[in-house]
Amino acid sequence: MAAANVKDVAALARVSIGTVSNVLNRPEIVSPETAERVMQAIEKLGFVRNDAARQLKAGRSNAIGLVLLDGANPFFTEMATAAEDGAARAGFSVIVGNSNEKKDRESGYLNLFEEQRVRGILISPVGNVAPRLRRIRDHGIPVVLVDRTSPDSSFSSVSVDDVTGGAVAVTHLIDSGRRRIAFVGGAMSIRQVSDRLQGARIAVGMRADVSLEVITTAALVVSEGREAGRAIARRPASERPDAIFAANDLVAIGLLQGLLMEGRIAIPDQIAVIGYDDIPFADASVVALSSIRQPTRLIGETAVEILLEEADDPTLEPRHVVYQPELVIRDSSGGPAA
Amino acid sequence: MAAANVKDVAALARVSIGTVSNVLNRPEIVSPETAERVMQAIEKLGFVRNDAARQLKAGRSNAIGLVLLDGANPFFTEMATAAEDGAARAGFSVIVGNSNEKKDRESGYLNLFEEQRVRGILISPVGNVAPRLRRIRDHGIPVVLVDRTSPDSSFSSVSVDDVTGGAVAVTHLIDSGRRRIAFVGGAMSIRQVSDRLQGARIAVGMRADVSLEVITTAALVVSEGREAGRAIARRPASERPDAIFAANDLVAIGLLQGLLMEGRIAIPDQIAVIGYDDIPFADASVVALSSIRQPTRLIGETAVEILLEEADDPTLEPRHVVYQPELVIRDSSGGPAA
DNA sequence: GGGGTGCATTGAAACGCTTCAGGAAGAAGC
DNA sequence: GCTTCTTCCTGAAGCGTTTCAATGCACCCC
């Protein structure tokens, strides 16, 4: 019942415990016959190496800690999966923590990761954890920011250029003939939201004949988008925008609902809609949603790569990788305004 | 740079290492002054307890292992979150592994969990891992099956009655006046799919005036549903079903797309549609989707509860909790057939 | 046959923590 | 003044692994 240990295996195979360890870790230096005997003993006893002892000896673990902002958002879960795959390729595992935008949960996971002596930490921070992260790094644990750049550039980061993304989205709307554009999203305190809006402003700023209205929502969820859509549908046709840029796909999907079902507004004929993130469901909404795609998997993989390099060589200068988003045109923004 | 350990703390606070440990684990038995001195030393050195050493001594970890079938399915991620919350309440953390229906990944996570000496394992198995799981349990690690019952009942399990779920869905369609019903889903080798179909058959079986057509898809994804929807829309009106029961919400969403966009078929007037799982996006599709809701969070929480009880007392008899699904009526199945 | 060379194996130390038997010192009881 | 309690603290053992210097041992070369 009690788990077997190396000592038991050694006794059964009539070798020293050192040899058992060698069979497990450096099989090439032990003679085939001995190795065979040891393997049989392991098999017979159902021996499973105790990772805690191994880590204690090694002084560090083979895990990477990852703190996510929102576990319910397909964008983050996909990124996490990519990080896991990348880590697995290098022989590491990933411990995923979901902060859910709560500072105390974030802090709890950082504690956990420190106690586990993880090899490094990937994080999309919610609170102002920079000082904490600095201390962690001073203890020899590298930290890479994901989907957010470091204010003082002292941490490596992997992010996407949301300003450009916003500009691309709105430029696309303008190019397809739209002139009265609305931005729907919030809260503005979320950096991604303000960046995307800023991009929209830049795109519009170059054109005197284009207007940009900003409609603020409380959160980036479907229900908020639906409300905004209803409100817009209720307006007289002349006061409606002819295109809407939503701060993310959830809001955009809500908008479609509100506009189509409540207002019988034709999409994209009367109003074009574009979202952001290109989540799998974008393509599955009734009017297939145009969106701005982020290289989600690439973000996760790159972050792991950088992290592991820094773990190998702590003297490395911090790096900042910024990916460019990509326009995905689907039905919701096709064709010109009526 | 090198992380401080209890010895360093003890030296700085001029106490023995035993006292440092006591301050951390049983502060009530040490005098307030000494405790204070130790706390300051900890603070000053930035001491963080080494979890590996702690676990090694304890002989087991404070983590629970969870192996998920599909990390991209909102149903599973929500269940995982619930399990995490439940475990956290009891002072445990959860290590989540996503098998993605791959046997080798599943096996890899089981290895990892064994080496970590997790307190218990929650799993929705993909392969035939019963023998393996039995060995694990013989080593003192309890196992609870999630969303799947154990063939031989030797493991505790928490699941949902998919047969009843299927019956409820189809009964609802019949009750609202539908007579030509189609079931869309696959592959049939997935137990959930065959159970739901079986439930549909039971519901229909009681009525001579109701027909049930089975349309098989290759997988439970949106694109498959969309194809099926198109095919149905292309049929002459007289040969179309007047209601469709989709094996899950992703397929149902695809069906809506195919029927509405390709065929201009009115939902629910011409064809009613109902899905399964009640994922968050069901409510967000253009025609709000009726669905069968599973007590997702409850499943995760119950599984953790049972697991921890078995970890405390390994002699407990296996238990089998089966929850009942719930009908959620939204727009896609409202009103009578035309 | 003595000394060198390699290979396979051994045994013990070390990783950082918790626990526990025991000791020091003071208070209380007779 | 002696024992008996309490309270607080110490010191060492031990968890299961890895690692490394040391030891055999066989073989080869001169």
CA distances to A19, A24, A162, B275 from A27, in Å? 9, 6, 50, 54
Structure letter (DSSP) for residue B237: G
- Note the strand D nucleotides within 7 A of protein beta carbons: 7-12, 14-21
- Among partner residues A84, A140, A256, which is closest to B286 by beta-carbon distance? A256
Probe site for chain A from B79, B116, B296, B315 (most A CB atoms < 10 A): B116
CATH code, domain with B28: 1.10.260.40
Interval B137-186: pLDDT, tens: 999 999 999 988 777 788 999 999 999 999 999 999 999 999 999 999 98
Which residue range(s) make up the domain with A301?
58-161+296-323
- Asked whether residue A287 falls in the same domain as residue A300, the answer is no
CATH code, domain with A109: 3.40.50.2300
Give dist(CA A50, CA A56) in Å, integer. Answer: 10
- Among partner residues B135, B253, B288, which is closest to A46 by beta-carbon distance? B135
In chain A, positions 147-176, which contact chain B (CB-CB < 8 Å)? none
- Among partner residues B81, B84, B139, which is closest to A3 by beta-carbon distance? B139
Which stretches does DSSP call E strand in chain B?
63-68, 93-98, 120-123, 143-146, 156-160, 180-185, 211-216, 243-246, 272-274, 291-293, 320-323, 326-328
- Asked whether residue A114 falls in the same domain as residue A198, the answer is no
- Asked whether residue A288 falls in the same domain as residue A166, the answer is yes
In a domain? residue A227: yes
- Among partner residues B49, B139, B285, which is closest to A286 by beta-carbon distance? B285
Mean predicted confidence (pLDDT) in B295-318: 95
In a domain? residue B1: no
In a domain? residue B282: yes
- Asked whether residue B33 falls in the same domain as residue B89, the answer is no
Interval A140-179: pLDDT, tens: 999 999 988 777 788 999 999 999 999 999 999 999 999 9
- Looking at CA atoms only, how far is residue A55 from chain B in angstroms? 6
Give dist(CA A148, CA B193) in Å, integer. Answer: 41
Q: Is the pLDDT assigned to residue B27 strictly greater than 80?
A: yes
Chain A / chain B CB contacts < 8 angstroms: 126
In chain B, positions 68-87, which contact chain A (CB-CB < 8 Å)? 71-72, 74, 77-78, 80-81, 84
In a domain? residue B338: no
- The burial of A290, by beta-carbon neighbours within 10 Å (0-12 exposed, 13-18 middle, 19 or more buried), is given as buried
Closest CA to B184 of B160, B210, B220: B220
Residue B56 CA distance to nucleotide C15 C1' (Å): 11
Q: pLDDT over 70 for what percent of chain A?
A: 99
Structure letter (DSSP) for residue B149: -
Q: Which residues of A spanning 22-61 put their CB closer than 7 angstroms to strand D? A: 22, 24-25, 47, 49-50, 53-54, 56-58
The pLDDT value given to residue A173: 97
Interval A35-85: pLDDT, tens: 999 999 999 999 999 999 999 999 999 999 999 988 878 888 899 999 999
Please state the domain count of chain B: 3
> Which residues of chain B make contact with A52, given a CB cutoff of 8 A?
52-53, 55-56, 61, 116-117
Closest CA to B258 of B285, B222, B288: B222
Token readout for A228 is 């905004």
CA distances to A231, A273, B279, B288 from B253, in Å? 26, 20, 11, 10
- Asked whether residue A277 falls in the same domain as residue A176, the answer is yes
Closest CA to A280 of A296, A267, A268: A296
Does A55 reach chain B within 8 Å, measured CB to CB?
yes
Closest CA to B81 of B291, B299, B249, B276: B299
Give dist(CA A253, CA B134) in Å, integer. Answer: 46
Residue A172 CA distance to nucleotide C28 C1' (Å): 89
Does A257 or B93 have the greater pLDDT score? B93
> Which residues of chain B make contact with A286, given a CB cutoff of 8 A?
256-257, 260-261, 285-287
- Asked whether residue B110 falls in the same domain as residue B142, the answer is yes
In a domain? residue B126: yes
> Which residues of chain A make contact with B135, given a CB cutoff of 8 A?
46
Q: Is the pLDDT assigned to residue B78 strictly greater than 70?
A: yes
For residue B71, say whether its CB is under 7 Å from any atom of strand D. no
In a domain? residue A261: yes
Mean predicted confidence (pLDDT) in B313-327: 94
Q: Residue B335: pLDDT band by 50, 70, 90 thresholds? A: low
- Asked whether residue A274 falls in the same domain as residue A245, the answer is yes
Interval A83-128: pLDDT, tens: 999 999 999 999 999 888 788 889 999 999 999 999 999 999 887 8
- The burial of B282, by beta-carbon neighbours within 10 Å (0-12 exposed, 13-18 middle, 19 or more buried), is given as buried
Give dist(CA B218, CA A312) in Å, integer. Answer: 45
Does B261 reach chain A within 8 Å, measured CB to CB?
yes
Closest nucleotide to B56 by C1' from CA: D15
Mean pLDDT over the full length of chain A: 92
Give dist(CA B167, CA A253) in Å, integer. Answer: 31
In a domain? residue A1: no
Does A283 reach chain B within 8 Å, measured CB to CB?
yes
